[in-house]
Amino acid sequence: MPLYGTLDITQSPARLPTLPNLDTEAWALPKAEMMQLLVEVPRSSTGGLLPKAMHPALPSYVILAVTKYSDSPVGPFNLAVLRLGSRAGAHPRGFLLGAVASTDAAALELRTRWGIPVEAGEVKYIRRHDRVMGTVKKDGKTILDCALVDPQPVAGSDVQYINWVTAANAPLDGTTQPMLIQVDPKYTFYKAERGKPQVNAFDPAAWNAPTIQLSDPIVGTCSTVDTDLPRIRFVMDPIKPVFQGTRRIREARADE
Amino acid sequence: MKFGLFYEISIPRPWTPEKERTVYNNCLEQVKLADQLGFEHVWAVEHHFLEEYSHCSAPELFLTACAVLTKNIKVGHGIVVCVPEFNHPIKIAEKTATLDILSGGRLHVGTGRSATWTELGGFRANPDTTKKSWDEFVRCLPKMWMQETFAYQGEFWSMPERTILPKPYQKPHPPMWVAVTSPGTEIDAADRGLGSLGLSFAGFDEQEKKIKEYRRRIQHCEPVGAFVNEQVATTNFLFCHEDEKTGVEMGKKLGNTFNYLATQLISTREVFSSPSYQSLGLLPALRRAATGPDASEQQTEGMAYGDPARIIRAIKKWESLGVDCVNFILNANEVVPQDQVMASLRLFAKEVMPHFTRKPETAAAAAE
């Protein structure tokens, strides 16, 4: 049967974000500008990064995403994330390895509401005539400098963004415990483009992924979307296979 | 109604030389028995790099082995990938003609364009152009088979005038098909006069609509080949057992294993935004089936597992929708022991097959 990850998050819960509850309200995030670059990585470079409950995507790939949220409950902010392509059971997921938000308020809320492993830093999203650029600095050091080059229009229906999984401590059944949390934003597209990924600088250690090596670029997309960060519906045991260890804690999105 | 076997050649980890050889030999043993029992077709996929799901990357070799071991069963590419980075059209024409000769005129040629990033990216093929390259290839193949000499200047390949050899044993040429997974491909099949090789596990309602549209449109087609191959095939799982409960349990295990492995594949659409891959194909249905609680009763009812009576009911339903041939997947990751696969085939042939009549031969066979 498929391979599984090897990371046991229960062994180092102190390194994980801690949520006071699983009851965060949803955030509406209108007119967000998102750039996502997908790059293959050698399988050997992903060792120890994926929780035991999940399957690695084969070939292995990462998603570098830089998003400009011009409106949110904590005001405008930019967010850069590194996700690892994977499967939660039968479903494609991007497992959050690391993230940087451009404001302290955003970093705090994202961390404590959805378990995103985010710290505050400098995140820039810049549009030029022939490219969209994202740069991230932490403590004055550039840890990501990337771009989507030569964006060409595509239909929003051509673009698929897969859901996320975060690893965090959260209370469940009266005990705060490490778990995996599904984060499943929805997207309404106003505009979408596709282009070539270009990564000029990338410090994997700064993204909690010291072994990751970028290899073959796949594709980049940038889009203007209404999106959200929804209420948490599913949590997963971090050790058991997801198809055994998934628990629904809230019904469908229609009740929001 | 005709019956066939459909081979992904799924091999569980860990892969040892003996394990891969054993699975291949198991498949050949099944094909040999199927030929004796009256199965009509054996199909083999072309997949590359798909760990556990399919280790069938050289189908022409497997099908040649099938042909040499059998007498009557037709051997079919399900499919050959018509993307230049995967296969040069000259080589496709040559290898298929050779296989047709070696099989004594039993070859069917299914065509397609691959759907996973794993494969397309592995060959550094451009997902945006695979539909066009497929169309170019399927228009060239019949000419390469039939014409004494052939020259071509196209978008994806070209050649100066040469004689492509050998020529197929079947005249004018082997029947051609196209893999139908994404919505709309049945229309592509119909418009070109190709057989519809359904690789989907879609429900009855969806299949009925597709088949109706296919049958309607093919009446006005411009065939890419010398004749119209109006046939509809669908894929199913098979496990036939005297006891219904046992048969259903094993069949579900087979189906769930296959579905789960399939959901691990990286579809092109998951990572590469392309208008050429707008649909996830069969993956949404497989994900629903693989996640257990969402499996619908209708899906289970349409599957050919259980006791002979249950299987007859399922196939009668497919027959009523206009399906000409049901191709069976017999195993996935070897979860069904070989002796049980063989017993299932024998019981199916004995108790189920006699309930289905055969339709008239295709135009090509009639023309011979």
The tokens 């087979």 sit on which residue?
B254
CA atoms within 13 A on the CB side of A123: 26
The SS3 call for residue B274 is coil
Q: What is the DSSP string of A49-68?
A: TSBTTSEEPSS-EEEEEEEE
Query: Which pLDDT score is estimated for A61?
Result: 98
Q: How confident is the model over B295-317, as pLDDT tens digits?
A: 445 456 789 999 999 999 999 99
pLDDT band, residue B282 (cuts 50/70/90): low
* Cβ–Cβ below 8 Å for A92 and B273: no
Q: How confident is the model over A160-177, as pLDDT tens digits?
A: 899 999 999 999 999 999
Indicate the residue of A40, A157, A243 with minimum beta-carbon distance to B291.
A243
Tell me B272's DSSP state: S
The SS3 call for residue B237 is strand
Indicate the residue of B117, B274, B290 with minimum beta-carbon distance to A90.
B290
Chain A interface includes B130 (CB < 8 A): no
* Cβ–Cβ below 8 Å for B117 and A218: yes
Question: What totals of helices (H) and strands (E) does chain A contain, helices first?
Answer: 2, 15
| Predicted confidence (pLDDT) at residue B237 exceeds the cutoff of 60 | yes
pLDDT band, residue B365 (cuts 50/70/90): very low
For chain B, give the mean pLDDT. 91
pLDDT band, residue B318 (cuts 50/70/90): very high
Ramachandran region, residue B261 (left: φ > 0; alpha: ψ -120 to 50; beta: rest): alpha
Indicate the residue of B52, B272, B278 with minimum beta-carbon distance to A219.
B272
Tell me A216's DSSP state: -
Query: Which pLDDT score is estimated for A1?
Result: 86
Q: Which residues of chain B have a CB within 8 Å of the CB of A195? A: none
Could you give phi then psi for residue B97, rounded to 5 degrees?
-65, -40
Residue A133 and residue A196 in contact, taking contact as beta carbons nearer than 8 Å: no
Angstrom distance (rounded) from CA A195 to CA A167: 31
Residue B138 and residue B334 in contact, taking contact as beta carbons nearer than 8 Å: no
Query: Which pLDDT score is estimated for A12?
Result: 93
pLDDT band, residue A243 (cuts 50/70/90): confident
Residue B269 and residue B326 in contact, taking contact as beta carbons nearer than 8 Å: no
Angstrom distance (rounded) from CA B264 to CA B203: 22
Q: Residue A232: which of A24, A17, A88, A90 has the closest Cα?
A: A24
Q: Which residues of chain A have a CB within 8 Å of the CB of B334? A: none
- B24/chain A closest Cα distance in angstroms: 18
Q: Residue B120: which of B80, B145, B86 has the closest Cα?
A: B86
What is the rounded average pLDDT of the residues B197-203? 74
Task: Name the residue of chain A whose CA is nearest to B288's CA.
Answer: A90
Could you tell me the maximum CA-CA distance found in chain A, to the nearest angstrom? 53
Indicate the residue of A58, A90, A216 with minimum beta-carbon distance to B118.
A58
Q: Which residues of chain B have a CB within 8 Å of the CB of A61? A: 266, 271
Q: How confident is the model over A92-129, as pLDDT tens digits?
A: 999 999 999 999 999 999 999 999 999 999 999 999 99
Q: State the distance between the two ends of chain A, measured CA to CA, in whole angstroms.
A: 37
The tokens 């043993």 sit on which residue?
B29
* pTM for the model: 0.93
Q: How confident is the model over B115-130, as pLDDT tens digits?
A: 999 999 999 999 999 9
Task: Return the C-alpha torsion angle A111, A115, A117, A121, nearest 10.
Answer: -20
Indicate the residue of A90, A91, A158 with minimum beta-carbon distance to B275.
A158
- Count of residues in chain A: 256
* Cβ–Cβ below 8 Å for A61 and B275: no
Angstrom distance (rounded) from CA A63 to CA A46: 13
In SS3 terms, B69-101 reads as HCCCCEEEEEEEECCCCCCCHHHHHHHHHHHHH
Task: Name the residue of chain B whose CA is nearest to A37's CA.
Answer: B271
* Cβ–Cβ below 8 Å for B266 and A2: no
| Predicted confidence (pLDDT) at residue B286 exceeds the cutoff of 90 | no
The tokens 């897969």 sit on which residue?
A162
pLDDT band, residue B109 (cuts 50/70/90): very high
Query: Which pLDDT score is estimated for B201?
Result: 62
Angstrom distance (rounded) from CA A78 to CA A61: 23
Residue B177 and residue B327 in contact, taking contact as beta carbons nearer than 8 Å: no
Indicate the residue of B264, B269, B274 with minimum beta-carbon distance to A2.
B264
B331-350 residues touching A, CB cutoff 8 A: 333
- A18/chain B closest Cα distance in angstroms: 29
Q: Residue B366: which of B175, B195, B189 has the closest Cα?
A: B175
Interface test with B, best of A39, A58, A248 (most B CBs within 10 A): A58
Interface test with A, best of B51, B117, B264, B287 (most A CBs within 10 A): B264
Interface test with B, best of A158, A191, A225 (most B CBs within 10 A): A158
- Give helix B308-320 / helix B338-351 axis angle, nearest 10°: 60
Q: Which residues of chain B have a CB within 8 Å of the CB of A194? A: 273
Could you give phi then psi for residue B228, rounded to 5 degrees?
-90, 130
| Predicted confidence (pLDDT) at residue A255 exceeds the cutoff of 50 | no
Residue B55 and residue B11 in contact, taking contact as beta carbons nearer than 8 Å: yes
* Cβ–Cβ below 8 Å for B273 and A159: yes
* Cβ–Cβ below 8 Å for A158 and B118: no
Indicate the residue of B118, B274, B333 with minimum beta-carbon distance to A1.
B333
- Measured CA to CA in angstroms, residue A65 lies from A27, A79, A84, B253 at distances of 19, 8, 11, 39
Angstrom distance (rounded) from CA B348 to CA A152: 54
B22-31, B261-270, B351-360: range with lowest mean pLDDT: B351-360
Which amino acid makes up residue B21? Answer: R
Q: What is the DSSP string of B170-201?
A: SSS---EEEEE-STTHHHHHHHTT-EEEE---
Task: Give kind and range of the element (H or E) at residue B290.
Answer: helix B283-290
Burial of A91 (0-12, 13-18, 19+ CB in 10 A): buried
Indicate the residue of B270, B275, B333 with minimum beta-carbon distance to A155.
B275
The SS3 call for residue B255 is helix
A200-204, A211-215, A239-243: range with lowest mean pLDDT: A239-243
Query: Which pLDDT score is estimated for B181?
Result: 83
- CA–chain centroid gap for B15, Å, is 25
What is the rounded average pLDDT of the residues A242-254? 86
Q: How confident is the model over B22-60, as pLDDT tens digits?
A: 999 999 999 999 999 999 999 999 999 999 999 999 999
Query: Which pLDDT score is estimated for A2?
Result: 92
If one compares B365 and A31, the residue with the highest pLDDT of the two is A31
Q: Is the dihedral of CA A73, A78, A80, A83 positive or negative?
A: positive
Task: Name the residue of chain B whose CA is nearest to A217's CA.
Answer: B121
Query: Which pLDDT score is estimated for A254?
Result: 61
Tell me B267's DSSP state: B
* Cβ–Cβ below 8 Å for A2 and B272: no
- A218/chain B closest Cα distance in angstroms: 7
* Cβ–Cβ below 8 Å for B121 and A218: yes
Q: Which residues of chain A have a CB within 8 Å of the CB of B118? A: 58-59
Q: What is the DSSP string of B324-366?
A: -EEEEE--STT-S-HHHHHHHHHHHHHHTGGGSPPPPPPHHHH
If one compares B294 and A214, the residue with the highest pLDDT of the two is A214
| Predicted confidence (pLDDT) at residue B364 exceeds the cutoff of 50 | no
If one compares B273 and B175, the residue with the highest pLDDT of the two is B175
- A156/chain B closest Cα distance in angstroms: 9
- B191/chain A closest Cα distance in angstroms: 25
- Count of residues in chain B: 368
Which residues are bridge partners to A175 per DSSP? A172
Query: Which pLDDT score is estimated for B294?
Result: 40
pLDDT band, residue A31 (cuts 50/70/90): very high
Query: Which pLDDT score is estimated for B291?
Result: 52
Residue B96 and residue B109 in contact, taking contact as beta carbons nearer than 8 Å: yes
